[in-house]
A and B are shown apart, each in its own frame.
Chain A
Amino acid sequence: MLGKAYFAIGLAVILLFGASSFLGWELGTPSREVLPADARGPNGYRSFHFWHYGFHGGK
């Protein structure tokens, strides 16, 4: 009984793996945003509010 239940769960996990490979899903991908239409284009890109700021790295 335990073996069959485990096998069913394991199959579901592998199906998830197969689906992620097929659809190109990657765990840990950051969330997405949408730029408003007026922010698009080289000038708009430069001024939109959620662009990154500040110090992000270094030792």
Chain B
Amino acid sequence: MSVLTANCPSCGAPISFKSGSSIVVICNYCRSAIARTDRELRDIGRVAELAETGSPLQLGLHGAWRGVNFELTGRAQMGHEAGGVWDEWYATFANGSTGWLAEAQGRFYLTFAEKINPTAIPPLDRLRLGLSVGSIPAATPPIVAEIGVARTLGAIGEIPYELTPGQTFYYADLSGSANMFATIDYSDTPPTVYSGQIVTLAELGLADAGAAEREARMVTAVSLSCPNCGGPLALHAPDRTERVGCPNCNSLIDVNQGKLSFLKSLGAGKYKPDIQIGSFAEFNGANYMVLGFVVRSVEIAGMRYFWSEYLLYHPHIGFRWLVNSDNHWSFVQGVAPGDISDAGHIRYKGKSFRIFQDAPAQVEYVMGEFYWKVEVGETVQATDYVNPPEMLSRELTVNRREGSKFETGEVNWSLGTYVQRKEIEKKFNVQLQSPSNVAPNQPFLYKSIYPYWAVLAAILLITALVTIIASGSNDVMTKSFHFEPLQNAEATQVTFSDAFELVARRNIRVQGTSGVNNSWIYVAGDFINDDTGLVQTFELPVEYYYGVEDGESWTEGSQSASTLLSALPAGKYTLRLEAQWGPQFAEPANITIKVDQGHTSVFNFLATLIAISIIPAGIAFWHFNFERRRWSESMFTHSSSSSADE
């Protein structure tokens, strides 16, 4: 890397351009921005002191990305139109390339200038939130997640473009799948596209940069005084905090580089958090501090519904949320808009989500610290999509700047995961109220029984097939019996079969067939073991009736009947039949009896199937009602019979 050294044209102090692509260097002594041209060094104005953002990065820090070493050689600080500040670090790589490492809200974005046909870049007046920009190379076309106006606040070190202090310009941030990130800078003509991805400091070989200091600062906190009441005010994330609610006088305080200014009174004790600000709890293996408390509401059909959100903070991870809605709790984290697929229906990581609510949500009350300039009355269009235990929420903000023909705004996606109340109580050591309704993302806890039922049904079917194949059936006896006329209607006739053999462990089926015709024959039978005297009784009623009534023909019964009996011990048996018939008892009767063994019992199979289905059927009914209750609170109609958390 060749280094160009010169003297500052403003103050004469030595300056140096370490990177060949650096256009501007900020003089360390007089803070003048010195631009280099082919012929000379030119002073393009003084830049402001940089705001303290508590960044873990610093000039001269060395890292590596995909095996190529880099050095942070410059830092530009930008102001967001909403009031926040972010840093953009200029990285000079050992292979001569350059990139930008942007740092905002605890996330890091590494991007490189992309050469794209200017006609393929959407012009500012056609830019819309959610617009898919296919001309930027990516696995899936990134979508516009934010359109904003930035202002150059200050810089140090070397900058690869002609930085103009105080310059404002439009930009668009785009989000793609798998952490892909791109930004379009409309300060240039044609606009410049930078693409890359969201990275972690660990991926850049900078894992330990500043984290320890930030963690220590969080625990000890910065003690300040409320500008309204003079009461003590502790900032646990002073480098991130833009607004703080005073716990002493319930005022909303603006935080600007450690300077506090009173904004408005929030009303005394209007809302009380269930979890104390400053308390800690572990989620997903990380210990978060509760930094802020905000109450928000939506109005649906003239009714206002409130819920509360707790801002959680971890110095290495950043911000998360704990949301309490109707005493149901969810742990919420941000999701890159590019990871959401919106082709007809919302999908995220292979899961499909159904819309539940879509309404303007407004801030009602704040307490504690916030990383953005939160305002009471601040409104976003909030849309919730559910697939229990998860809920995807989209918050859309669209602003129209005074005197500008372009809209700005941003779309933010977050993923909430349902947390059982008992778990929250345990984590924070608090007592919480029980919910009385079903939450949009509350999981039905007993649905695991369905796969168990499917497995059991399969086992039952296999067992039945195996027993059918293994047992086989065998005919034992088929014989027609003739009975002489009865003396009277009460009389019976008895007959015996010849002896026959029955085998053990095979059920016995007895079938009787008789030419009954609007008549009946009843047979009381007995299998008698000739050796032991064991008697197995059975009954076989055969009856068949038919006729015409009111012009409709009807039949009842059948000319045959059968019964199944448990297996008898193996041996020689005789069949005793005692018959009675009517109404033509004075006429002779005939019946053919067939005995076979090893008959497959459908009744036993069905009885077993019903037995294993009773509990799942009850749970399915419960589940159906659970889903009906869930969707009864949605502003969108979905069939309650199809469970969302299947």
Contacts and interface: CB of A to CB of B under 8 A. Distances in A.
Most chain B CB within a 10 A radius of its CB, from A9, A10, A40, A53: A10
A55 B520 CA distance: 12
Given A51-B578, A56-B539, A13 B612 contact: yes
Contact of B467 (A21, A27, A31, A35): A21
Interface residues of A, number: 45
A23 B601 CA distance: 12
Nearest to B540: A57
Given A14-B459, A26-B564, A30-B536, A58 B608 contact: no
Contacts of B607: 27
Interface in A1-26: 2-4, 6-7, 9-11, 13-14, 16-18, 20-26
B533 A25 contact: no
B520 A59 contact: yes
B463 A18 contact: yes
A49 interface: no
A42 B575 CA distance: 11
B494 interface: yes
Most chain B CB within a 10 A radius of its CB, from A9, A27, A52: A52
Contact of A58 (B576, B578, B582, B615): B582
Contact of A26 (B494, B528, B565, B605): B565
Contact of B524 (A13, A32, A46, A52): A52
Given A21-B467, A26-B507, A14 B608 contact: yes
A23 B583 contact: no
A11 B604 contact: no
A26 B566 contact: yes
Interface of A: 2-4, 6-7, 9-11, 13-14, 16-18, 20-27, 29-37, 39-40, 42, 45-46, 50-59
Given A7-B456, A25-B566, A35-B528, A55 B489 contact: yes
Interface residues of B, number: 65
A26 B583 CA distance: 33
Contacts of A17: 460, 463-464, 604-605, 608
Given A26-B507, A58-B582, 13 more contacts: A6-B449, A7-B455, A10-B453, A14-B608, A23-B505, A24-B505, A24-B506, A33-B534, A34-B533, A35-B533, A40-B533, A52-B537, A57-B521
Contacts of B537: 30-33, 52
B380 interface: no
A58 B518 CA distance: 10
A9 B111 CA distance: 59
Contact of B507 (A7, A13, A25, A59): A25
4 interchain residue pairs of minimum CB distance: A24-B567, A57-B522, A35-B533, A21-B467
A29 B536 contact: yes
B102 to A, nearest CB: 48
